[in-house]
Structure 1
């Protein structure tokens, strides 16, 4: 039966304005907007916050600019809009930050909430405290996941004795990172002697970098330098670096503070020299990747030539 009264005139959005209801529109740069009250038409050139109020600046076709309080009272293409801050840039920056936080300082994929693994028998040895702190800062997350402990040697003069004491085997491998490991140096001779320790060669890998000190493995640009300065023979390298940078260097505490300042410039692996990166990554692989029964002594100690 037909409805003799027709449809309900009060049903629906009967109070809607003729041009439609206002919609929220981000004030993106270049968006052409008309201010209803003044009739000013212009493109969004910037948005700023003043006195707790967001102000949108519109530039007309003659290059003139006027500021308006952001909110309702604008038209875009003849339709009413409420201008709101454009969050696309901040959202992009947030996405970048989240992506960065999903990586460890070494560039590995971060495993959220993963507990540190119980330490395995394998070890990575470094020469001193500064080496250990640098490895911890960049590769610490990775090493905790793998259960690998980093230990200090306080120098490599007794490297052969350390190998004998540890008595490494296939389940307790030993990686060693050596400073200034280049042909003809004292360090190279010590490593050659360590190679001759019988019975352990398959389970030990010695790698290094060509730098006088691990400080030098930090890219000089992080300190505002084009390159690390050459320190004259007879002058302590670390003291010479501090003097060049104008930092205090009379006491060991001064040297410790200088290292903390240098270490503080290291954010990720990208702030380190490739030679150090390659050596540390290879040592981590050596002590964590299951040993192939067919692997020969070719995977033994190596002397890097920078």
Structure 2
């Protein structure tokens, strides 16, 4: 029985081998016909190089390469900025409107002297790169100008929009602007030299945290930082900011891009670090944050 099986399979095996050999030869022949000779490729490269050298001078070639490098860098920066915008937009879009605040009106509590004043805002609105206070006619608002950066002599003063009644304000918020909520506590400050970790900590984060301590117990819970810092690809101080706060960091320049024609509202917002930075020396040479808290 086994001999019959071997005799039956023998012609089939020979046929398979012949077919495989024929198919291999066919592939080799077709590959030789469609392949480009190496000499032709070398001639093409030499021709392109000669055209490049003859058509452009050395300075023009350098300018072209520099422009290409700058374009690539700009595209990378734009892509990174767009990623930041998309990331924060996704977070804020899915936030529920006013999860803790019982009113849509902006309320303000301020602490400290005008020189080093810090303010806590409930429902502080933001649109087109500007803070906006929505209030009802007759509501009391304390002086709310604050300094978010000790090296910026001009205070930050949100714009005010007053409504005749709370019903008008509510209609405006819910049906007209429909803001995206930035939940929890947000701490805002500016820092010019955050690429230097010393300045980033003691001229930026330290005085801002002193302002947050003025409104306990918010400094004991995770919060978000709205940082007025410039673009820096390798500033690890930004990671320090985000880790210290617990809820991450949102750059002010990114928020400005997001707010073009779009309304946002901060659930709780603290700003006003004044001249409480480490470099803002007091007459007794103490850190001003400690002096203010005594």
Establish whether TM, by shorter chain, passes 0.5. no
Structure richer in helix, relative to its length: 2
Normalising by structure 2, we get a TM-score of 0.27
How does the TM-score come out when normalised to structure 1?
Answer: 0.27
Higher relative contact order, chain-length normalized (CA < 8 Å, sep 6+): 2
